[in-house]
Structure 1
Amino acid sequence: MALRAPARVRFKARLLCPAKPADADWAFLVLPQAASNRLPARSQVSVDGTFGTVPFQATLEPDGQGSHWLRVGKSLLDAAGVVAGDTVALNVAHVAEEPEPDVPPDLREALDANPAASATWDDITPLARRDWIQWMTSGRKAETRVKRIASGCDMLSSGKRRACCFDRSGMYSRGKLGPPEAAG
């Protein structure tokens, strides 16, 4: 049986400038609801495709409202020749294989110091690792992050493979998932 190619999602969106920091060299866009609805999940979704005419791969973030948003870095803005305020055409599809998430240095240190947690970490999927990172680093206070990393490593060392009770879409939690505030 042949595997079907992921469905392509085509849409246009306006690039927005974040309000903070005031000197940001990046922009963001919010997907139209109809485009977001064609993706496989309301949570983080890794896609590849074209941004204007430039190939790219990125992970779309949940907006807490059932849709997604995308942070667009300076290099992609420059390659596409666009700036905040422009409307850009995107053509994306869910990736066949989830990319490895970037592990923050403080979490990497904690995992390196805990061989049992590191063994479970190495055995789980990239998506599960991304969920752990999101949960551990999403606290509003620095102390919360430190506590969650310690607690997460304890849970991983006991063999726990998923971050429990974590609302990946942001729709049901009091946490602030969503795009940054747009500048004026």
Structure 2
Amino acid sequence: MAKLPPATVRFKAVLHRPAQPKTATWAFLILPEAASAKLPTRSQVTVEGTFASAPFQATLEPDGQGSHWLKVDKALLEAAGVQPGDTVTLQLVPAAQQPEPKVPPDLRDALAAHPAAKTTWDDITPVARRDWIQWMTSGKKAETRVKRIATACDQLASGKRRACCFDRSGMYSRGNLGPPEAAD
């Protein structure tokens, strides 16, 4: 049976300026619950489509409440001709291919030092790599991050492909997932 293409999700949302940092050149919006519910996951999901008629691709972040939010960079704001306070129309679908996540330098160094872990890392999907990165970097203390990187390298070296027991949506943990506080 042929797989149907994902349905286009259409909605309007208000752009907000973040309260911090005060010098931010970006904005954000929170997806309406009905729009977010049409996406395939409550966790990070990369989408493509139009933002106020400007084409874009971005990764939606979970808000910890079962929905998503979108950080809108300065270039997209300018391309769309919008600013915080405006209501924008979006049309989006999950991206056909998930982009490669940016690997932090400390993780890149650790993987280089553990060839067996690097082999598994290279073989897993971009979404799995993104989950590992999010788990490793989500600790509040520097020593937690160091410990998680070491643990991840050990687990990857043993062939483990997914970060275990990690709440990707933020709904069931005390994580700091969610949109920034709005200045307005």
TM-score range, shorter chain: over 0.9
Residue of structure 1 equivalent to 2:10: 10
Where structure 2 has 5 or more consecutive residues not aligned to the other structure, the ranges are none
Q: Counterparts in 2 of 1:88-167, with a 5 A limit?
A: 88-167=88-167
Where structure 1 has 5 or more consecutive residues not aligned to the other structure, the ranges are none
Q: Distance in 2 between matches of 1:28 and 1:125?
A: 28
Contact 1:26-1:73 at 8 Å conserved across structures: yes
Residue of structure 2 equivalent to 1:68: 68
4+ residue stretches of structure 1 with deviation over 6 A? none
Q: Which moves more between the two structures, 49-58 or 138-147?
A: 138-147
Q: Distance in 1 between matches of 2:139 and 2:21?
A: 20
Q: Distance in 2 between matches of 1:51 and 1:141?
A: 36
Q: Distance in 1 between matches of 2:72 and 2:109?
A: 29
Please give the per-residue CA displacement for 1:9-56, whole angstroms capped at 9, x wherever unaligned.
000111111111110111111000010011111111111000111111
Q: Distance in 1 between matches of 2:158 and 2:3?
A: 37
Please give the per-residue CA displacement for 1:92-140, whole angstroms capped at 9, x wherever unaligned.
0012222211111221111111111100000111111010011001111
Q: Which amino acid aligns with 1:136?
A: M
Residue of structure 2 equivalent to 1:42: 42
Tell me how large the CA RMSD over aligned residues is. Answer: 1.1
Q: Distance in 1 between matches of 2:4 and 2:172?
A: 32
Q: Which amino acid aligns with 1:143?
A: E
Residue of structure 2 equivalent to 1:21: 21
Q: Distance in 1 between matches of 2:142 and 2:83?
A: 33
Please state how far the C-alpha of 1:72 moved relative to its aligned partner.
0.7
Please give the per-residue CA displacement for 1:47-88, whole angstroms capped at 9, x wherever unaligned.
100011111111111100000001111111111111111111
Q: Which amino acid aligns with 2:104?
A: P
Residue of structure 1 equivalent to 2:81: 81
Contact 1:45-1:60 at 8 Å conserved across structures: yes
With the length of structure 1 as denominator, give the TM-score of the two structures: 0.96
Q: Distance in 2 between matches of 1:181 and 1:48?
A: 25
SS class of match (1:11): strand
Identity over aligned pairs, percent: 73
Please give the per-residue CA displacement for 1:111-170, whole angstroms capped at 9, x wherever unaligned.
111111100000111111010011001111222212211211111111111100000010
Contact 1:12-1:89 at 8 Å conserved across structures: yes
Aligned length: 184
SS class of match (1:131): helix
Contact 1:6-1:95 at 8 Å conserved across structures: no
